[in-house]
Amino acid sequence: MTVKGRLTHAPTPERRLAKRINTKERLLALWSAIAATSSIDLVASRGHKVKKVVNIPLVVSDEFQKLKTTAEAKNALEGLGLWDDVTRARKGVKIRAGKGRARGRRLKRPRGPLLVVLKDEGIRKAARNLSGIDIVEASSLNVEDLAPGTHPGRLTAWTKSALELMEARFTGQGN
């Protein structure tokens, strides 16, 4: 309480905010989440619209990550059969109950398809206005992207080069 003195009862962090997890356990969870994206039953039970999807797991060419405009992205998603799931995610927005509504977490939005690319060459900017879609680079893919809310089986579209990187990473030839 003196001039330039420390606080008498300063706030101290008593809670550990980041939880560590064993490396092998984390990798096992990532492998399981990747495997769950290839099961049509798990993907459909999560609420995704999969009737028009060409194939699960959905692998697209590397030209997909070079799309520049939202119209191109929309046409590509319609061609792959993912557009029904995008409209499901757009229409399913709900207002949260409770105090979270007043604390900046007003809306609950469903998750739509996940697009896994090797390198972002314009697809993130093209699809950023489409609700529910998440774009992630294969090098930074994690379990929360593949299984949001701890529910495995998210509808995922992989580019061919991203799938090759994941295969090299998990068989030991990659980083």
Torsion of CA 38, 79, 149, 107, to 10 degrees: -170
Spatial CA neighbour of 56 closest among 138, 113, 126? 113
Q: What is the pLDDT along the chain (175 residues), one digit of tens a residue?
A: 678 888 778 888 888 888 899 999 999 999 999 999 999 999 999 999 999 988 888 999 999 999 999 999 999 999 999 999 999 998 989 999 999 999 999 999 999 999 999 999 999 999 999 989 999 999 999 999 999 989 999 999 999 999 999 999 888 755 5
Residues 98, 89: Cα–Cα separation, whole Å: 22
Per-residue model confidence (pLDDT) at position 99: 95
Per-residue model confidence (pLDDT) at position 173: 59
Domain ranges of the chain: 46-171
- Which CATH number applies to 46-171? 3.40.1370.10
Per-residue model confidence (pLDDT) at position 125: 94
